[in-house]
Amino acid sequence: MVVTFNLQSSAPKPNPMSASKERPKKIKDKTLPSSAFQKTSNIQEWFNTLCRGEFKEYCKAVRAKQYRRSPAHLTCEAMDLEPLKGRYEDVICYDQSRVVLKREFGKVDPDDKDFIHANWIITPGTRTKYILCQGPLENTIPDMWEMMFQERVSIIVMVCQCVEDGLQKCEKYWPETNETYGYYKVENLGDVKSKWLKDMHEVEVRELSITAPNNVRHKLLHMVITNIGDHLASQDPNHLCKLSIFAKKYAYDKNGPIATHCSAGIGRSGLFAAIQYVYEGMMTSDSTDPMQLVKEMRACRKNCLQTYLQYACLNMCLANLFIRKKLIRNGEEYKTLLKKYNVYFNVFMNAAKQKKKATKRFEKSLDIEDGNKENEDTKKESTSTSKVGGEKQLQKPRVLSKKTMAEQTARKSGSTYLNRLQN
């Protein structure tokens, strides 16, 4: 399937300008109202604060209490009624912003309700709409496709892999060729090829079609970003910006929302949605604080955008977008900022690697422990017998497997998502 898609601006390239001259003319964004470009001094003020302050301290705002408090009126009653449809017990789906399944063609299971773990995030005053959802579980795949068809989603952005470091993060919910999920037939139309996407590394884009029982067909794109680990961010903000622009432009042309998910649907996918939400929010308001806009997102999807690194990446993506629009300069300040980000990124990556090594050591210790127990059990089985009906029967003691031990440990510590975040 070949899709032609061109995001390059038709505006002529500006001539090189010295720092003493006027700022280049702003390039307008048709997805924003014209009033967004009337006043942009707040953007320069934000950039100055970002460049001149301590980068690490600036990024700590993502965990500040004033940005994490939930409005008192928000509830999650629908989620509480469907505990088996949530991947993590501490990842909340607010009633006030959730996607409500209309069950237009009936229920696959008579006990099905209208719940799916997904929330709307809509930028005020623009046409950009996001649906943030968790990575589908096996029992929620039909709901996923019902939502895609019902809301006429234009593109799904998957910011994870199905299995990461041996852990199941998301079920494979799309077909290799074609498959029926509940009432919906989904067909894989093949990989998308375009001049713009050919240089995009570690990303897969395919076109899918959904056919409902009434034979109405809806096509959409499925983009998988594979180079961002759990709780982490992109090493190349420019690359992530391009993907964000692609998704936004495609959704604008198709007049449909963007659905994005990772595993929990708040961290990596929250970062992806925040890039355009905060960019548009700063363009259409006087805000100089990206976290105020992230706080708005969190009132729709709780704990959206999680770690220091993700917030650092968000700020770098914002700078990249504003440079593209000629609102700030791609000068020494930005280059210095990019160096700081790379250092910060490497610190987090090294910490993640150490964490993986520690996990492997723990798993290895369980293997050794299991092996020792098996040897002991073999000895016991050879000596421990009992008479039942005049015949000798082996008495096999119960040995916990690694999986059982892990499950018991998880129950004791609380099998949640947020308590595994990096500090």
Residue 411 has pLDDT above 50, yes or no: no
- Residue in 57, 51, 47 with CA at minimum distance from that of residue 311: 57
Place of tokens 């995001």: 7
Please give the Cα distance from 326 to 319 (Å, whole number). 10
Q: Residue 168 belongs to what H/E stretch?
A: strand 167-168
Of the listed ranges 57-61, 97-101, 232-236, 244-248, the least confidently predicted one is 232-236
Q: Which two tokens stand for residue 356?
A: 């993986």
- Residues 368-379: pLDDT tens digits? 655 555 555 544
pTM: 0.78
Residue 391 has pLDDT above 50, yes or no: no
What average pLDDT does this structure show over 384-410?
39
Residues 6+ away with beta carbon under 8 Å from 67 = 61, 291, 292, 294, 295, 298
Of residues 164 and 36, more confidence is placed in 164
Which positions are catalytic? 262
Q: Backbone phi, then psi, for 166, in 5-degree steps?
A: 80, 5
Residue 309 has pLDDT above 60, yes or no: yes
User: 258 pLDDT band (50/70/90 cuts)?
Assistant: very high
What average pLDDT does this structure show over 51-73?
90
Residue 419 has pLDDT above 90, yes or no: no
- Residue in 94, 63, 69 with CA at minimum distance from that of residue 300: 94
Of residues 147 and 353, more confidence is placed in 147
Q: pLDDT at position 70, please? A: 87
Q: pLDDT at position 108, please? A: 83
In a 13 Å sphere around the CA of 27, the CA atoms on its Cβ side amount to: 14
Residue 355 has pLDDT above 70, yes or no: yes
Burial of 389 (0-12, 13-18, 19+ CB in 10 A): exposed
HEC string for 319-336? HHHHHHCCCCCCCHHHHH
* Domains of the chain in sequence order: 42-330 (3.90.190.10)
Q: pLDDT at position 125, please? A: 79
Residue 185 has pLDDT above 50, yes or no: yes
383: left (phi over 0), alpha (psi -120 to 50) or beta: alpha
Residue 36 has pLDDT above 80, yes or no: no
Q: pLDDT at position 383, please? A: 44
Residue 71 has pLDDT above 80, yes or no: yes
Residue 236 has pLDDT above 70, yes or no: yes
Of residues 213 and 10, more confidence is placed in 213
Residue 397 has pLDDT above 80, yes or no: no
What average pLDDT does this structure show over 38-63?
88
Give percent of the chain with pLDDT exceeding 70.
74
Residue 346 has pLDDT above 70, yes or no: yes
Q: pLDDT at position 381, please? A: 46
Q: Which amino acid is it at 118?
A: A
Residue 407 has pLDDT above 60, yes or no: no
Residue 153 has pLDDT above 50, yes or no: yes
246: left (phi over 0), alpha (psi -120 to 50) or beta: alpha
- β-partners of residue 222 are 156, 206
- β-partners of residue 190 are 207
Q: Which amino acid is it at 55?
A: F
